Amino acid sequence: MAQQVRRSERLRQVPRPPRQLLETDFAVADPLDASDGEAEKRKRRQGAESQALIGPKRRRFLFQELASRAEEGPNFFTCEATASTLPRRFFCPSCLKLARYKCPQCCGAFCSLGCQKLHKEVLCR
């Protein structure tokens, strides 16, 4: 008799879509998660902001520390490069291509007629 009652109760239940069944299957609140997700997001954002303020100081300290540890002999801090034997290259400030022309007024470099127009409008003094 008890089995018939249970079966009739199951038949009376409205069938749920499979997606809803999957979402509620083994759905248990996490007992260890007592805080909201929003609070964690705020903490992360504040942490990133504070790291941005502290970061350059740490890098500067690290660079100075490496410079002070410079050993005898050639390394990054003690090597000296000679002057280049090739002539200086000029680049177009508007498109960063190799500049082949110079402005007669200010000696600014540019690479094409389009960049020359832009140079006259914005950069030429």
| More confident site: 42 or 79 | 79
Q: What is the reported pLDDT for 62? A: 72
pLDDT confidence tier of residue 24, bands split at 50, 70 and 90: low
Q: Element (H or E) spanning 116, and its range?
A: helix 113-118
Q: Element (H or E) spanning 18, and its range?
A: helix 18-24
pTM of whole model > 0.75?
no
> Does 43 have pLDDT greater than 80?
no
- In this predicted model, what pLDDT tens digit does every residue of 51-84 receive, in sequence order? 666 566 666 667 777 777 666 667 776 778 888 8
Between CA 91 and CA 101 the distance in angstroms is 10
Degrees to nearest 5, angle at CA 24 with 21 and 26? 115
